């Protein structure tokens, strides 16, 4: 017997087979769409395809996962295969590429870990929003229920999660006509394009030229830091140095907000004037620019808005300045050191923690589980030696490169490409030797040794030497370094000799 309730198919035996079958059918047409907008070397950029997958397919699969998360592996793996298929389409990877390698390359959580994270977050939210769910689980515990469905709840109670149920009135100070808050991020444009090795020399000069006219007594440098799973914040001013620790769970973003809030408390004890708070947190400034907040916005963000309105009514002017981190701006460096001291040995700065404050702890446990699986797996060891740490960001995040470049490198990184050395491993080619007869036909041989491509290789070497890059560096080492100069020239070399990886 089966029935559908709120979009989920329930069955009397609790196998979830019918619901899994329903999800597969629902996703198939969307997978076909991904295929129509991508090809081997042409089509939508991999980052766009991954985003399309996450918004049109993954959201469908994870809806209601709290219920069917406990289904047998034989059913869950059918959904995992959908994820693997979509990531292969996005990256242009070979069918032989190890499934966990695909997720590491694309920065996409394994489906089981994602289901667990969503289920954990639901229980955290229910502590405040729907306590009846928690009460029902407690009744099941009293009845000594030991089903797989209960494992996520047993994990939940072991974390001792006790969120505060505070509610503050939302105050959007940016809509107040007499508001005197100014958000200044002009340095972001002025330092754009400065090479990394010159930032510590050039950025302090730009900073001094822009802000040397400001009274140093009215400048408050703030920063947040997380060290050894402890979080703190620091504030530096010519008259005061302050550091505090935040009770867990806490993130660097929370610490940055706390530092700004505490700076406003200090300013409130001073005479009304124009004060400047300098932060290296763009997320803090973006949050203050946002639309009116809901009741579940971060506690300190609400308090900052509340405090700013209070100060505005008392004729204070506040400017929040963005400055780049770790660029030898003295005040920022002092605030950073104070934040580290606060994280390691500061007094606790008390605050209520809303339920969404515990989400970061849930996500961290999920990432730890993913990392453990990646470290202990039997397959994908070549890629593990290049990318040992998992991340929810794709390996090409932030790179302005073409789809075909990403496709080629996404094959070289896991060592799965269409050369005889690999084709022989998977039983497609009879021989792993190169046509030149002088070695295995792998990427190392093609780029640096094969006699068929001497002329093109000499151009490659000349290009590298012109950019002070030594030739004959092992391709694997180049991939480990993620050196775009090397990678770009190797990609161009492969195109020149018409090798299809």
Give 325-387 as a DSSP string: SSS--HHHHHHHHHHHHHHHHPPB------GGGGHHHHHHHHHHHHHHHHHH-SS-HHHHHH-
> Is the domain of 220 the same as that of 255?
yes
Quick check: is 188 in a domain?
A: yes
> Is the domain of 7 the same as that of 115?
yes
Quick check: is 258 in a domain?
A: yes
Quick check: is 96 in a domain?
A: yes
Quick check: is 362 in a domain?
A: no
What is the pLDDT, as a whole number, of residue 367?
Answer: 94
> Is the domain of 145 the same as that of 28?
yes
> Is the domain of 255 the same as that of 181?
yes
Burial of 308 (0-12, 13-18, 19+ CB in 10 A): buried
- Count of structural domains, the chain: 3
> Is the domain of 323 the same as that of 469?
no
Closest CA to 220 of 341, 346, 334: 334
> Is the domain of 7 the same as that of 55?
yes
What is the pLDDT, as a whole number, of residue 166?
Answer: 55
- Name the domain boundary from 104, 129, 158: 158
Q: What is the CATH number of the domain that holds 246?
A: 3.30.420.10
What is the pLDDT, as a whole number, of residue 176?
Answer: 43
Quick check: is 385 in a domain?
A: no
- Is-cis flag, bond preceding 501, omega within 30? no
Rounded to an integer, what distance in angstroms lies between the CA atom of residue 319 and that of residue 304?
13
> Is the domain of 202 the same as that of 325?
yes
Describe the chain by its helix, strand, coil percentages, rounded to 5: 55, 10, 35
> Is the domain of 323 the same as that of 199?
yes
For 283, the domain range is 173-353
- Name the domain boundary from 158, 186, 215: 158
> Is the domain of 11 the same as that of 102?
yes
- Name the domain boundary from 134, 158, 182: 158
> Is the domain of 22 the same as that of 61?
yes
Quick check: is 450 in a domain?
A: yes
What is the pLDDT, as a whole number, of residue 292?
Answer: 65
> pTM for the complete prediction?
0.81
Quick check: is 405 in a domain?
A: no
Quick check: is 435 in a domain?
A: yes
What is the pLDDT, as a whole number, of residue 82?
Answer: 97
Rounded to an integer, what distance in angstroms lies between the CA atom of residue 383 and that of residue 414?
5
What is the pLDDT, as a whole number, of residue 78?
Answer: 95
> Is the domain of 301 the same as that of 330?
yes
> Is the domain of 137 the same as that of 66?
yes
Q: Which two tokens stand for residue 147?
A: 């089903």
What is the pLDDT, as a whole number, of residue 294?
Answer: 62
Place of tokens 């996520």: 152
Give the mean pLDDT per block of 10 residues along the chain (501 residues): 88 90 94 90 92 96 92 94 96 94 97 94 89 90 80 84 61 45 86 85 91 92 92 94 91 92 94 94 86 70 87 90 92 94 92 82 91 94 96 92 94 94 91 89 93 92 92 93 91 91 86
Q: What is the DSSP string of 31-92?
A: HHHHHHTB-SSSBS-HHHHHHHHIIIIIHHHHTTHHHHTTS-HHHHHHHHHHHHHHHHHHHT
């Amino acid at each position: 017997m089966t029935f559908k309730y709120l979009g989920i198919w329930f069955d009397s035996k609790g196998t979830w087979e019918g619901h899994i079958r329903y999800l597969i059918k629902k996703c198939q047409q969307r997978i076909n769409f991904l295929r129509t907008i991508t090809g081997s070397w042409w089509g939508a950029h991999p980052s766009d395809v991954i985003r399309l997958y996450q918004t049109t397919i993954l959201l469908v699969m994870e809806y209601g996962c709290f219920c069917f998360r406990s289904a047998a592996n034989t059913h869950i793996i059918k959904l995992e295969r959908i994820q693997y298929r979509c990531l292969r389409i996005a990256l242009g990877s070979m069918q032989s590429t190890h499934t966990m390698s695909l997720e590491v390359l694309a920065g996409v959580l394994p489906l089981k870990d994602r289901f667990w994270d969503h289920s954990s977050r639901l229980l955290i939210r229910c502590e405040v929003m729907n306590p009846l769910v928690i009460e029902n689980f407690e009744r099941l515990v009293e009845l000594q229920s030991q089903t797989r469905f209960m494992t996520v709840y047993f994990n939940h109670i072991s974390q001792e999660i006790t969120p505060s149920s505070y509610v503050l009135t939302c105050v959007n100070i940016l809509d107040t006509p007499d508001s005197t808050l100014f958000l200044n991020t002009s340095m972001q444009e002025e330092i754009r394009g400065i090479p990394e090795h010159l930032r510590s020399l050039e950025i302090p000069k730009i900073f001094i030229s822009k802000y040397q006219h400001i009274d140093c007594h009215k400048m408050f440098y703030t920063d947040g830091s997380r060290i050894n799973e402890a979080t703190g914040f620091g504030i530096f001013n010519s008259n005061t140095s302050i550091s505090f620790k935040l009770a867990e769970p806490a993130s660097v973003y929370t610490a940055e907000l706390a530092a700004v809030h505490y700076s406003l408390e200090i300013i409130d004890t001073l005479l009304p004037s124009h004060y400047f708070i300098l932060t290296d947190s763009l997320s803090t400034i973006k949050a203050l620019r946002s639309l009116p907040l809901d009741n579940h916005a971060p506690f300190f963000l609400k308090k900052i808005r509340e405090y700013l309105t209070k100060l505005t009514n008392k004729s204070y002017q506040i400017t929040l300045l963005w400055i780049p981190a770790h660029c030898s701006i003295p005040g920022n460096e002092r605030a950073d050191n104070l934040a580290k001291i606060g994280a390691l040995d500061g007094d606790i700065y008390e605050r209520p923690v809303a339920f969404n404050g515990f989400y970061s702890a849930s996500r961290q446990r999920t990432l730890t589980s993913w990392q453990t699986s990646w470290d202990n797996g039997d397959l994908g060891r070549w890629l593990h030696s290049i990318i040992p740490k998992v991340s929810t960001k794709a390996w090409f995040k932030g790179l302005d490169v073409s789809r075909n470049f990403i496709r080629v490198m996404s094959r070289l990184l896991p060592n799965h490409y269409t050369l005889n050395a690999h084709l022989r491993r998977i039983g497609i080619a009879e021989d792993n030797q190169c046509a030149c007869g002088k070695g295995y036909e792998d990427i190392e041989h093609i780029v640096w040794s094969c006699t068929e491509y001497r002329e093109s290789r000499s151009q490659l070497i000349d290009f590298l030497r012109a950019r002070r890059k030594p030739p004959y560096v092992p391709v694997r080492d180049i991939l480990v370094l993620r050196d775009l100069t090397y990678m770009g020239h190797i990609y161009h070399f492969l195109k020149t000799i018409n090798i299809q990886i």
